[in-house]
Structure 1
Amino acid sequence: MSKVLSKTDSEIFKSPREKDLLSHITSTSLKYKIWIAVLLVFVVFGLIGYYRQLKFGLVVTAMRDYTSWGIYISNFVFFVAISLVGSLFSSILKLNKNEWSRPLTRISEIIAVSAIICAAVIIIVDMGRPDRFFYVIRYLRIQSPIIWDVIIISTYLVISFLLLYISMLPDLGLCRDRLTSVPRWKKKLYRILALNWNDNPRQWKKLQKINKILAITVLPVAFAIHTITSWLFATTWRPGWDSTNLGPYFVSGAFMAGAAIIIVAMYFIREHMNLGRYITQGHFDKMSKLLVLLSLVYLYFNINEYLGPAFKMVGVEGEHITELFVGNYAPMYWLVQIGGLVLPIILLLFKPLRKPLPAFVISMLVLLGAWFKRFLIVIPSLQHPYLPIQGVDESYLHYNPTWEEWAITISSFAWFLLIITFLVKIFPVIPVKKEEAFIKSNSNSQSDNDEI
């Protein structure tokens, strides 16, 4: 994003750091406008598909009585997976005091909030009629894993939003005080959201305490959301799902996908917002190493997931494994395992490939593999029920998403990117204020005053 600052903005920034991290809010490049326009085109395309689905019903999709979950649920599981990146950075790395991850914390929180919003919306799309969601709440049945998922997704969304918002209070106060040339609606937005923040040491201490509580709270909730999502599959009697391995399998896969999307976001933000001083090659090196570690863990659970059924090859489980290994889904399955898992692990072991551009390309392979992996988790299992499929139309035997499904799917990713783009454009994407240094300096000055 090119930055052409007005004289007023150039004068009000009191440090190079403020100028670097806030200037994107005050300027809008042509590249940014084109990007928004392209995303809006995809959104409109999806809305047309969704209108047809509302008008004619789910018959416009390829879902039928047997393949009752399609590409929508694949998207749901994928969005839930990448939302785990918020807890990875805001909780695990932050509580372990990994200072190198600090510039990436807000990016991860923005991705987490955006992903979980899209996950919730895509579930409503999958229901066919949106009013059915209110029936789920009205006729709540705690025996149903679907209700568990609704509760935990709502909880995770609230905590993720609070993690993002509370940690941003000092920077919101800074935007309120510094950005005097922005439009009136932005000034009002910053004034409301800043909540009378005035850089008081007492406020900083309270902020630290709240952030620590939220960072601890989000971790079990994050693990719960992915475990409960896996239970939606594990409690349904289908080949490939009837496994106690699904919980850790989903969690490990979510960590891997989350690390990959952070690297992708780092690359775009570094290149298009000129933040190479803050998102350095060292960050890409460390994130690539972390991605290798998480991919190895996920590879272990993949072996556990398929080795047992492949060794026994009993009944419908055997048919399901055969379909994946050498059947219709074999090309996709092996591309996912090799191109989206094994190959990235090998490539990222070499230091030259842990630089920004190679790491970005490899992470894109991981993300593509992660999405197709969710497709393979959902679709093949449904096409091999324990009761044989007999006396039905040919369309019931296969699942090929219709253009309406693809349109809504592409639109969901466009919405995801739009939410991220909006948040990155309105707010500082890297924390401007350094709370530890501020508290330390104020504590020292306070002790000096006491001595005097």
Structure 2
Amino acid sequence: MSDRSDILPRRQSMGGIADQLTGIPLHFPAERRWVIAMAFASALLLLLIISVTALFTRGVGIWGINIPVNWAFAIHNYVWWLGIGHAGTLISALLLLTGSEWRNSLNRFAETMTLFAVVCAGIYPVLHLGRPWYVYWMFPYPATMGVWPQFRSPLEWDIWAVLTYLTVSLVFWYTGLIPDLAAARDRATGRGWQIFFGITSLGWRGSAIHWLRWSQAYRLTAALAVPLVVSVHSEVSLLFAAGQIPGWHSTIFPPYFVLGAAFSGFAVVAIIAVALRSWFGLRNLVTDDHLDVLGKVLLATGLMTGYGYVFEVFDALYSGEAHEMRTLLDRVAGVYAWTYWGAVLFNFVPLQALWWRGVRRTGWALLLISISVAIGMWLERDMILVTSLYRDFLVSSWGKFTPTFWDWSTYLGTIGLFLVPFLIAVRLIPMISIFESKELLHEEKQEAHHG
């Protein structure tokens, strides 16, 4: 038997897999936990609504931004959320094209995570405009004054990068979901569920021509999505690297940001994987071997991100430029040194436990390490922004940044903006790919029969 049997769904029948996964939205075995989680998430979403209302009423002065720190939580959390959104596309698109079978139990909720994380990221530049009702100025339209956006500005690139990434991710997610929606439609007994799944499955009947067209569309979209993972976060890094600010002006930033995004994104995927398999009893589908692979990927991307930390130090020392040296020293021993050392501590110290196989295969241990990584990457983004800005080239322009209540409430509110639609998706759609799990089980049985 092939070694890949370790990551195959452990069910006696393919029909059992379909019944198990469609039974989650149709019969929902964790109603009480879901209601508690939804109440908590809704409270955070309400906090976001209040915060945005206050922002629109009173202006961005309610935040702690100032001169010289005119970029702070808004851009900091934008980069953090966008980074989280990258792992879903990596797991689904890249591993689909390379034929990696361990993706099949993880790709659906990872793709769903991507959509809502990108939405959370996308609202921040709009809020940061100060006058968000003029956001349409960012798009080229036939204005009578002939005014066009400044396409040489990295901020303008953000609009196109995020919208393109969101659009492709949405199409990729929905395309992969269609066969499973049809499976849920065929098993639904309630009229409401039959209508919902009947409409969303787009008339899927599973004929040969349906599978052919679907496979072509799915792989084509995956091929479009993979370079977007690299290009979008490389573009985000150019918001920093294209300027002359010490600590930002470095050629390491594009790969550094892409690897950091994968690092934080895989951490959140691991958090969701452990939570969902515990909530819904999915240990036969999200196995210890899947956690093992997630732990290995998390360790690998973490070590690559750690290389970026080392290179930043080397870059400053090798350049010998006075402002770069001063920024490096300030990050290590200055007022905000706690953000630098906090990022090092949370990102890399617990991570070393993943060298041991037993730790990688233990759900609660992987969960705690992943939470630590998510916190560490948040601190890293804060460190990159504030420590480079709060001491400008002129001493007369120096000024500290202190986040206000509204900075924190807006950030916490975006967590609600992420959780509420994600929990709704858990309630409505199969969170693990049914047809791919069945396909792997069929292939494994065929190998066992002929082996």
Q: Same fold (TM over 0.5)?
A: yes
Q: CA deviation at 1:311?
A: 5.2
Residue of structure 1 equivalent to 2:94: 92
Selected match of 2:356 from 321, 331, 350: 350
Q: What is the rounded CA distance, in whole Å, between the counterparts of 1:150 and 1:82 in structure 2?
A: 18
Q: What is the rounded CA distance, in whole Å, between the counterparts of 2:406 and 2:49 in structure 1?
A: 9
2:419 paired with 1:417: yes
2:234 paired with 1:227: yes
1:162-201 equivalent positions in 2, closer than 5 A: 162-181=171-190, 184=192, 186-201=193-208
% identity of equivalent residues:
25
Q: What is the rounded CA distance, in whole Å, between the counterparts of 1:288 and 1:340 in structure 2?
A: 14
What secondary structure sits across from 1:243 in the alignment?
Answer: coil
Contact 2:78 2:121 in 1 (8 A): yes
Selected match of 2:314 from 303, 307, 312: 307
1:25-424 equivalent positions in 2, closer than 5 A: 25-28=25-28, 29-138=31-140, 139-181=148-190, 184=192, 186-310=193-317, 314-341=321-348, 343-354=349-360, 355-390=362-397, 397-424=399-426
Contact 2:63 2:403 in 1 (8 A): yes
Q: Deviations over 1:83-138 (max 9, x none)?
A: 11122112222222111221111121111111111111122122222213111114
What secondary structure sits across from 2:435 in the alignment?
Answer: coil
Q: Which amino acid aligns with 2:253?
A: L
- Runs (5+) with no aligned partner, structure 1: 1-12, 391-395, 442-452
Q: Which amino acid aligns with 2:336?
A: Y
Q: CA deviation at 1:326?
A: 0.8
Q: CA deviation at 1:312?
A: 5.3
Larger CA deviation: 129-138 vs 102-111: 129-138
Q: What is the rounded CA distance, in whole Å, between the counterparts of 1:435 and 1:166 in structure 2?
A: 16
Q: What is the rounded CA distance, in whole Å, between the counterparts of 2:346 and 2:121 in structure 1?
A: 26
Larger CA deviation: 208-217 vs 84-93: 84-93
Q: What is the rounded CA distance, in whole Å, between the counterparts of 2:409 and 2:159 in structure 1?
A: 25
Q: What is the rounded CA distance, in whole Å, between the counterparts of 1:389 and 1:274 in structure 2?
A: 60
Distance verdict in 2 for CA 1:407–1:435, change over 3 Å: closer
- Runs (5+) with no aligned partner, structure 2: 1-12, 141-147, 444-451
Q: What is the rounded CA distance, in whole Å, between the counterparts of 1:370 and 1:333 in structure 2?
A: 10
Residue of structure 2 equivalent to 1:433: 435
Distance verdict in 2 for CA 1:401–1:197, change over 3 Å: same
Residue of structure 1 equivalent to 2:448: none
Q: Which amino acid aligns with 1:384?
A: R
Larger CA deviation: 107-116 vs 379-388: 379-388
Q: What is the rounded CA distance, in whole Å, between the counterparts of 1:223 and 1:314 in structure 2?
A: 30
Q: Which amino acid aligns with 2:226?
A: L
Q: CA deviation at 1:153?
A: 1.1
TM-score by length of 1: 0.89
Q: CA deviation at 1:313?
A: 5.5
Q: CA deviation at 1:14?
A: 9.0
Q: What is the rounded CA distance, in whole Å, between the counterparts of 2:205 and 2:437 in structure 1?
A: 13
Q: What is the rounded CA distance, in whole Å, between the counterparts of 2:429 and 2:220 in structure 1?
A: 23
Q: What is the rounded CA distance, in whole Å, between the counterparts of 1:128 and 1:161 in structure 2?
A: 28
Q: What is the rounded CA distance, in whole Å, between the counterparts of 1:277 and 1:370 in structure 2?
A: 31
Q: Which amino acid aligns with 2:377?
A: A
TM-score by length of 2: 0.89
The root-mean-square deviation of aligned C-alpha atoms, in Å, is 2.1
Contact 1:316 1:385 in 2 (8 A): no
Residue of structure 2 equivalent to 1:6: none
Q: What is the rounded CA distance, in whole Å, between the counterparts of 1:68 and 1:46 in structure 2?
A: 21
Q: What is the rounded CA distance, in whole Å, between the counterparts of 2:24 and 2:439 in structure 1?
A: 25
Q: CA deviation at 1:427?
A: 0.6
Contact 1:85 1:255 in 2 (8 A): yes
What secondary structure sits across from 1:239 in the alignment?
Answer: coil
Residue of structure 2 equivalent to 1:20: 20
Q: What is the rounded CA distance, in whole Å, between the counterparts of 1:387 and 1:193 in structure 2?
A: 58
Q: Which amino acid aligns with 1:410?
A: L
1 or 2 for the larger relative contact order (CA 8 Å, sep ≥6)? 2
Contact 2:25 2:429 in 1 (8 A): yes
Contact 2:185 2:198 in 1 (8 A): yes
Contact 1:204 1:435 in 2 (8 A): no
Q: Which amino acid aligns with 1:315?
A: A
What secondary structure sits across from 1:434 in the alignment?
Answer: helix
Q: Which amino acid aligns with 1:113?
A: L
Q: Which amino acid aligns with 2:48?
A: G
